[in-house]
Chain A
């Protein structure tokens, strides 16, 4: 039971987190490909992925040298920062304080910028650079999610990698079919779920790093997740009500 909980939560967190990041990279790379050239899009992305692979191959073995407790503590802290950042933004979007992320708008903005640079003699290089940056930054986030979701327990890194790979294949499959920005993805709901998972993992790993004996072992992730979810949903409801009340008072 404990093993199933670990595997399910690891694969889910890795899959959902990677999915959202890859969709964001896909939007930019698609804009580059459609507006400038597919060669620039693929070259920029490929260079970023090679650089990422080199970094992972160089730094990956170093993870094995770090004592497990320290790694759990540090990665747990980074997961907390990462997860709470996503949760905060998801709460702000769900309560209407900031607008939902619009892949179509992001695509239009990127396309407009690329078109403005089209007359530049370095247009292909600049377009490739945009694809490179998008693939690198989102790729680093995917690598972090995979490492963070999988590094705290032996054998979980493989499952986390499978989750990320599945997400990549799915985004590419959908993208190849629709040839458009993936606007119908409920991005904020996904980010909400990922934020909850990562923040919960963060608390769990920091606790493990401190030497906490969580009751039920990995099953403790479930009540931690439930508490974060309840607090986040109450925050959304309260903020929505306050926003509505303030807006009415200002009329």
Chain B
């Protein structure tokens, strides 16, 4: 049982490495989803906005890691 618990306990790590990246992506998905569902944004525009947001996050996250590498040791 302990072994199963330990194994399944590591499963969230499959999706989350950098917590901030994961949270931002989820917020982006939620906001675009809401904007599309409420008719504020066209679905295709929403998907493109989501893609651009993910690209920004993708570039920012390693840049943050680099700053930590030099300034936090």
What residues of chain A have their CB less than 8 Å away from a CB belonging to chain B?
73, 77-78, 80-82, 84-85, 87-89, 91-92, 95, 97-98, 129, 132-133, 136-137, 140-141, 144, 199, 203, 206-207, 210-214, 224, 227-228, 231-232, 234-235, 239, 242-243, 246, 250
Judge whether A203 and B15 touch: CB under 8 Å.
Answer: no
Is B17 part of the binding interface, using a Cβ–Cβ cutoff of 8 Å?
yes
Contact of A246 with B21 in the complex, beta carbons under 8 Å:
no
Which B residues lie within 8 Å of A235 (CB)? 58-59, 62-63
List of 6 A-B pairs having minimum Cβ-Cβ separation, nearest first: A207-B47, A212-B43, A211-B43, A81-B15, A212-B44, A85-B17
Residues in A whose Cβ lies below 8 Å from that of B65: 92, 97-98
B1 at the A/B interface (Cβ < 8 Å)?
Answer: no
Residues of B within 8 A of A (CB): 3, 6-7, 10-11, 14-18, 21-22, 25-26, 29, 32-33, 36-37, 43-44, 46-47, 50-51, 54-55, 57-59, 61-63, 65-66, 69-70
Contacts of B15 in A (CB 8 A): 78, 81-82, 85
Which residue of A is nearest B30, CB measured?
A77
Q: Let me know if A82 and B7 touch, CB within 8 A.
A: no
Instruction: Report B-chain residues with C-beta under 8 Å of the C-beta of A212.
Output: 43-44, 46-47
Which residue of the partner chain, among A80, A95, A133, contacts B62 with CB atoms under 8 Å? A95
A144 touches B14 (CB 8 A): yes
Given the contacts A84-B21, A206-B50, A137 and B11 also touching, CB distance less than 8 Å: yes
A140 touches B62 (CB 8 A): no
State whether B61 touches A88 (Cβ < 8 A). Answer: yes
Q: CB distance A232 to B58 under 8 Å?
A: yes
Least Cβ–Cβ distance between B19 and chain A, in angstroms: 11
Distance to closest chain A CB from B48 (angstroms): 8
A224 CA to B14 CA in the complex, in Å?
23
Cα separation A92 to B63 with both chains bound (whole Å): 9
B26 neighbours in A (Cβ, 8 Å): 77, 81
Residue of A nearest to B6 (CB): A133
Residue of B nearest to A199 (CB): B54
Within the complex, what minimum Cβ distance (angstroms) separates A40 from chain B? 13
Question: Do residues A133 and B3 form an inter-chain contact, with CB atoms below 8 A?
Answer: yes
Can you identify 23 A-B contacts, CB atoms within 8 angstroms?
Answer: A78-B15, A80-B54, A81-B25, A84-B21, A85-B15, A85-B16, A91-B58, A92-B62, A92-B65, A97-B62, A97-B69, A133-B10, A137-B11, A141-B14, A207-B47, A210-B43, A212-B43, A212-B46, A213-B44, A228-B55, A231-B55, A235-B63, A246-B70
